[in-house]
Chain A
């Protein structure tokens, strides 16, 4: 048994025989072409171009049928490459000037482009050369009259092992009997990885030399969750993975039945289960979950990988799209929680290195220091607010002054827009993240100005316990069951309830199956969950009795030790845990 470690690209487990795909290294010879035959060489090249166009037309029909419109764009890209002067002009010029065969002229032209692309530092742009190779290979195989490899010829279920899968290989993947695939090259965001995820087949990439170490027909286990390929596994290993495979299938089936059902406890308490949104690309997946809305829309992605902050119109368009897609369900948009390090990239003048960024210039502190940046985002959200219910959430608030200043800007943005003739929703709620101990303890005052709160457990726990989760020496001290955490959460819930304001929890605690009963018991009835864990959390909520969980939390509040609290809360799901999974 050999275990090869790669990069997990698409989750799931596959067990089956290896089908090792031969690398298509086409050897091209340089042939001198006599002058009188150069015309013929050009015609040959033209014919190969035409044949490749026909290939693409054929592929388009197939892709449209099996993969959907999204993937057709790639074919358009390939058509453009095929009509690129680098191919249509450069290759004939080389044939004529150097008096060489079309194959050689083409591979020289491709090699020149490849060298240029290799120098590009930006991975995203550098990776585009695979599309060029793909088209180049098709052309070459037509010139050489060789059949391009076709994965549909794999007629028995198998795990595909390849050096690299080209986009055109993956077009046909859905029609094949492939159980999963593993490649030597590729990263988590490569085209092949994304495709495997959308086809929901397990995949591992970046294995470096799997094609050399694995032989055709060898028995394999492909573990897409951990990025492993196990070659000739022992009987025990196979059995273990078969069990895991069955378990996952059963779990998935059980969870699927919960889709669209209300999250109601056994004693009839209805929970609001929303999801977190990190990027609008996840919208389709989130719509399919049939959640109660978006409880935390993180807008940081808009500020990443760019040299200037996003403008109002660009932001308004993104927010409108998200709000429209969810309406009539509510969307809570959090103002950008970016740190000082980001500003330098955005062309704003800030020191790059803060000794302690978690206690540095971030969230509302940064936004108030750059009121134009902040107001642009507030205006964009307000402009989008006519498309459906929306709330605005302020990150990292730790004083009433900050909240007042933010409210002032919010009001200003509102009045400005009205003055400019925009139609906006008269009242958009403005709330705060409770994620600093200061906000937790000052909550009664903050609630006079805030319309709602969202408890950000990640930071709150980190600040309460003075634990840097990134520091490996203390990360184990990060503990949602710490008595201090339970007490502070309880206090937050009690205060907010007294003021009759809406509250929700976001952060990893809502997606941690062990911690959900604690939140339920604390009396929080709105959770914003990571989409991946949404159905699982619903399953837990539906299994719990709110009254019993509440009793357990009252008891937990008197305990001094995290272990005891953990055990007590664990009992709420223990029998369930077994009942749910077995």
Chain B
């Protein structure tokens, strides 16, 4: 199953090390492939360095694409992380 969703980064410093780490930890709990894109750059959602490379500052919109059996559940957890502003 393939899912696609656009999520907005709302925490103050953007997707810096800690939020990126939290994203990776969440995504890595699932088997599905997680891709994250900003503008025309797409990276592996299970790679912290990849996410940092996006330089996603506050307010930027990220396109999350999930592909795999547990995609629905993974997306729910990832959305939750965004909704909690990465715990900040």
Report A's interface with B, CB cutoff 8 A: 73, 76-77, 80-81, 84-86, 113, 116-117, 120-122, 124-126, 128, 131-132, 302, 305-308, 310, 314, 347
List of A residues within 8 angstroms of B48 by Cβ: 80-81, 84
Could you tell me if B58 and A116 are in contact, using CB atoms closer than 8 angstroms?
A: no
Could you tell me if B50 and A305 are in contact, using CB atoms closer than 8 angstroms?
A: no
A255 to B53, CA, bound (A): 46
A122 to B21, CA, bound (A): 19
**Minimum CB–CB distance for A572 against chain B, Å:** 45
**Minimum CB–CB distance for A431 against chain B, Å:** 28
List of A residues within 8 angstroms of B17 by Cβ: 77, 128, 131
A347 to B52, CA, bound (A): 24
List of A residues within 8 angstroms of B18 by Cβ: 73
Could you tell me if B59 and A117 are in contact, using CB atoms closer than 8 angstroms?
A: no
Could you tell me if A125 and B12 are in contact, using CB atoms closer than 8 angstroms?
A: no
Of all chain A residues, the one with the shortest Cβ separation from B56 is A125
Of all chain B residues, the one with the shortest Cβ separation from A317 is B88
Given contacts A305-B58, A306-B58, contact A124 B16 (CB under 8 A): yes
9 extra interchain contacts, Cβ-Cβ under 8 A, other than A125-B16, A306-B58, A306-B59? A80-B21, A86-B47, A86-B49, A128-B17, A131-B17, A302-B12, A305-B57, A306-B12, A307-B58
Could you tell me if A84 and B49 are in contact, using CB atoms closer than 8 angstroms?
A: yes
Question: A-B pairs with the 10 shortest C-beta distances?
Answer: A307-B59, A125-B55, A306-B58, A120-B55, A85-B47, A116-B53, A80-B48, A122-B55, A84-B49, A84-B47
A128 to B13, CA, bound (A): 13
**Minimum CB–CB distance for A345 against chain B, Å:** 10
Given contacts A84-B47, A85-B46, A86-B47, contact A125 B52 (CB under 8 A): yes
A305 to B14, CA, bound (A): 10
| CB-contact partner of B57 in A86, A122, A132, under 8 A | A122
Could you tell me if A128 and B52 are in contact, using CB atoms closer than 8 angstroms?
A: yes
Q: Mark B62-83, 1 if CB is under 8 A from A, else 0.
A: 0000000000000000000000
| CB-contact partner of A81 in B14, B16, B49, B53, under 8 A | B49
**Minimum CB–CB distance for B11 against chain A, Å:** 9
Could you tell me if B53 and A117 are in contact, using CB atoms closer than 8 angstroms?
A: yes
Q: Is the interface of A mostly helix, strand, loop or mixed?
A: helix
List of A residues within 8 angstroms of B85 by Cβ: 314
**Minimum CB–CB distance for A27 against chain B, Å:** 24
A80 to B53, CA, bound (A): 15
List of A residues within 8 angstroms of B49 by Cβ: 81, 84, 86, 113, 132
Q: List 6 A-B contacts (CB under 8 A).
A: A113-B53, A125-B52, A128-B16, A305-B12, A305-B13, A314-B12
Given contacts A80-B24, A116-B53, A128-B52, contact A308 B58 (CB under 8 A): yes
List of B residues within 8 angstroms of A132 by Cβ: 49
Q: Say yes or no for B44: interface residue by CB 8 A criterion.
A: yes
A347 to B59, CA, bound (A): 10
**Minimum CB–CB distance for B84 against chain A, Å:** 11
List of B residues within 8 angstroms of A302 by Cβ: 12
**Minimum CB–CB distance for A137 against chain B, Å:** 15
**Minimum CB–CB distance for B68 against chain A, Å:** 16
List of B residues within 8 angstroms of A84 by Cβ: 24, 47-50
**Minimum CB–CB distance for B37 against chain A, Å:** 14
Within 8 A of A (CB), among B11-61: 12-14, 16-18, 21, 24, 44, 46-50, 52-53, 55, 57-60
List of A residues within 8 angstroms of B47 by Cβ: 84-86
Of all chain B residues, the one with the shortest Cβ separation from A88 is B47
A86 to B51, CA, bound (A): 11
List of B residues within 8 angstroms of A131 by Cβ: 17
**Minimum CB–CB distance for B7 against chain A, Å:** 15
A85 to B33, CA, bound (A): 13
Of all chain B residues, the one with the shortest Cβ separation from A122 is B55
